[in-house]
Structure 1
Amino acid sequence: MNLAIKKIPLYMIAIILLVFTGFPFLYMISTSLKSRTEFFEQPYSLFSSFTLENFKSVFEMGLSRYFLNSILVSVVAVFAVMLIAALASYPLSRMKFKFNRVVFLLFIAGMMLPIHATLIPVFKLSQSMGMYDTIWALLGPYIAFSLPISIFILTQFMQEIPVSLEEAAKIDGCNHFGIFWRVILPMLTPALMTVLIYNFIHLWNEFIFALVLISSPENMTLPLGLQDFKGEFSVNIPGLMAALTLASLPILVIYIFSQEKVVKGLAGGAVKE
């Protein structure tokens, strides 16, 4: 009984946090279902009406194209990051060579590099390579800036995998690639899901590189394309909320179906051999 009473403050804090985090999302959905007239008449009412005209209008304005561009560049970049980070993390965590620690620290130092310091070099590089104003120009910086945190997560997770599993695989005749493919990689699933979710959310919402490297409407990603809902003198708030609601769906779906693996990945390393 005393334990239940002591938990009441924790429950209250959890409820307050739920309200603060959940209300903006509910307000966004509610506003997306209002007409512009009703929004100005009742801006703070929740679910007072139901219309899908805003969703229809955002697709007419080219939202589907922005969606496809964001999905393409985010998916390609995330899977490239997962592959490169996994291959780089294995020797950093399991093999001992002269500059092992130095190489790892250089990767980690990449997390401290401000994105804005690289905008001009990346812009000039994309122009010289003939990739400016293409969605492929985003892949380089997206992959480069996602690798440090991904390598850090996977390296720390790999260090907690029992060495005895590798030794048993060596006895069975596996080389380093066989050990990585058959032993390490299957056990990396929780950490890889963490890397996938973290990077997908970041890249799905990325704006600054898209703003610098993309200028044509047909090549814009979703965050950049949302500017279309902002006019010179006014903003179509219900239309913008409808676009934001649709933009949130991929992230919500991915997290709902993989949250268990994400939690395991973040908690990786709690049990040591």
Structure 2
Amino acid sequence: MCASPVIRPAAPVDAMAAGRRLTVGNVVIGVLALLWLFVTATPFLFMIFTSLKDAPEYMSSESWAMPKHWAFENYGMLLTNATFYRYLFNSVLVVIVSVTVIVIVGSMAAYAFARIEFRFAKPLFAFVVAALIVPVHVTLVPIYLMTKHMGLYDTAAALMGPYIAFALPVSIFILTEFMRQIPKELEEAAQLDGCGPFKIFWTIFFPLSGPGLATVAIFNGIMMWNEFIFAYVLTSTPQHRTLPLAIWDFQGQYASNVPMTLCVVALTSFPLVIAYAFGQERIIKGMMAGSVKG
């Protein structure tokens, strides 16, 4: 005779209790996330509201008071300023060219370290990783002197060179760990079809490294967009200066007009907010790539 099945009523009870605990945990996490959103969004809201006040209202009202008169003309004055567009163009040019070079050169170097066996591969990769511990501002004076001697001072190239050099070590490190996780079977199949290393890189590894490339591009783009020290030292005229220096110059030009200065800050911040809003998932995936093996 078949034995009758054993009924254990405790399992559903445990499952229900676990569900309740999970629900309570989700609520706590949600509340904490809302509190953190409030903390992080407060400075941004203060910037927007203050930029929409005129100078007399800002001086006479409380700092956190809503604008009584929405001074959209502050943005109108800024958007009709030709100098601001020059700063914007310089930032876009420097970021696009620098990020493009970093993505191409960094991915090629990462592919070599990840999949090509050659002499001194490990020491060279260790040298690249060791470059991450060098404080970039220690090189400010040597780079300034080198830029002056090369005749590149006060040009866009004066910024692109240091930006690319400082971003390559971390970019190569991220992309190398990412490419090591791509299955070797894809590479072996391409080799059987007669593909060389260069074609394998462009047709297989480069497309499949999309999340890592997006991480490198967005991360470095944000850093370059906000960089101030090197842009301040290596450029001297509005024709070649970038947006962070626009904030500096407009602060001097409108010394008593804080709302106008915050207009510049707001317009400078909007591209970064939009870029991160659309690219945050790729950034997280790229940064987590290679952290778990198996």
TM-score, normalising length from structure 2?
Answer: 0.87
What is the letter of the counterpart of residue 12 of structure 1? V
Sequence identity percentage: 41
From 236, 239, 250, the equivalent of 2:260 is 239
Residue of structure 2 equivalent to 1:11: 30
| Residues 1:205 and 2:226 are matched in the alignment | yes
Q: Distance in 2 between matches of 1:63 and 1:234?
A: 17
Deviation at 1:14, TM superposition (A): 1.1
Count of aligned pairs: 273
**Counterpart in 2 of 1:65?**
86
Deviation by residue 1:193-251 (Cα, 9 ceiling, x = unmatched): 00010000000000111111111122211111211222399442111111111111221
The amino acid that maps onto 1:134 is T
Matches within 5 A, 1:224-235: 224-231=245-252, 234-235=255-256
Q: Which residue in the other structure is 1:77 paired with? A: 98
Moved over 3 A (4+): 46-49, 231-235, 270-273
SS at match of 2:252: coil
Query: Aligned letter for 1:25?
Result: F
SS of corresponding position for 1:174? coil
C-alpha offsets along residues 244-263 of structure 1, whole Å, 9 cap, x if unaligned? 11111221222223333223
Give runs of aligned pairs for residues 15-34 of structure 1, distance below 5 A. Answer: 15-34=34-53
SS of match in other structure, 1:98: coil
* Aligned-pair CA distance for 1:98: 2.3
Q: 2:283 corresponds to which residue?
A: 262
Equivalent of residue 66 in structure 2, options 46, 68, 75? 46
Long gaps (5+) in structure 2:
1-19
For residue 99 of structure 1, the aligned residue among 117, 120, 124 is 120
- Distance, in Å, in 2 between the alignment partners of 1:47 and 1:102 is 60
The 1:54/1:92 distance shift into structure 2, 3 A limit, reads: same
Q: Report the alpha carbon displacement of residue 53 of structure 1 after superposing the two structures with TM.
A: 1.7
Structure number with greater Rg is 2
SS in 2 for 1:62: helix
> How far 1:143 sits from its partner (Å)?
0.4
